[in-house]
Amino acid sequence: MSVSRREFTEVAALAAVLPLLARPRSSSGEPAAAPAAPAQQEEPSAEARALGAWVRARYGDRLTANQYAEVVQDIDGALRRAARLNAPALTNADEPDMIFRAYRGG
């Protein structure tokens, strides 16, 4: 089975986003309660809608309309968090808070 470059890129992008969509779990393994949603949610970005369209094409027969909307919102949230993580510009002189030194024995 051959895979086109476009299909590979779409799957790779989705694979990069899916771990960010994982919901936190409580110590008992139950899904943690979701934080209260803001009164007005922003419209998902074009990138989130495009990834959502891929999810619908791939898994649309298993999702209700509400689940699909939630998936698109989750993807959009993950993309916004990724943008915030990439926002600070680091220089070559920036160092981590803690320096790792391997333990070499007593």
Asked if the model's pLDDT at residue 81 lies above 90, the reply is: yes
Q: Count CA atoms closer than 13 A to 102's CA, side-chain side.
A: 1
Q: Which residue has the higher pLDDT, 105 or 96?
A: 105
Backbone angles phi, psi at 31, to 5 degrees: -60, 135
Q: What is the pLDDT of residue 53?
A: 93
Give per-residue pLDDT as tens, 20-42: 766 665 555 555 555 555 546 78
Distance (Å, rounded) from C-alpha 70 to C-alpha 23? 12
Distance (Å, rounded) from C-alpha 30 to C-alpha 57? 29
Place of tokens 């803690």: 98
